[in-house]
Amino acid sequence: MKLPDLTILDEKDKRLRVISEEVKFPLSNETKDKINDMITYLTMSQIEEYSEKYHLRAGMGLAYVQIGIPKRIFVIVEELEDGNFKNYIIINPKIISHSEEQIYVGEGEGCLSVNREVEGIVPRFARITIEAQDLDGNPFRIRVREDISVAFQHEIDHLNGILFVDKIDPQNPYKNMDKYREI
């Protein structure tokens, strides 16, 4: 596997604060190639052999804006138990419903654009349903839960110019922790 040539923006880059634009169809070949590069990068970052060889931080999600293009696209690469991966390509997502229950990632959320340790919790919905479009512009609906729900919400925040660190109270990073379930 060859490491794609992607530059991931750092949190100090003001482009990460831009609200991404709706995507128009059909997608260009360049857009499809970038999506494939993002999937390859995330997959390689989760395989120890490649993450060590290329000094990659493990990541499971990447929004298009993180590579400097403010379009409403993100990908999630979920590592399955048998060493395989499930890829989600999400274009023009809209959250249409969510659970009342909220959760947080016990070891804390991370982000490929935030190159530092961040203390604190980020409350997220345990389950969400979104409407989005696939690579061909076909609409679909998907319901996700637990860690994939967290990843989807994290990436949708990116599309709206929000970083996970914005959601942590700097005065009290573990505020209301007892109201949410840890995953």
Point out the residues that are catalytic.
Answer: 155
| CA 79 and chain centroid, separation | 14
Backbone angles phi, psi at 73, to 5 degrees: -135, 135
Which residues have C-beta within 8 Å of that of residue 182, sequence separation ≥ 6? 103, 104, 105, 106
Query: CA–CA separation, 161 vs 15, rounded Å?
Result: 8
Query: CA–CA separation, 4 vs 34, rounded Å?
Result: 9
Specify which residues 74 forms β-bridges with. 63, 90
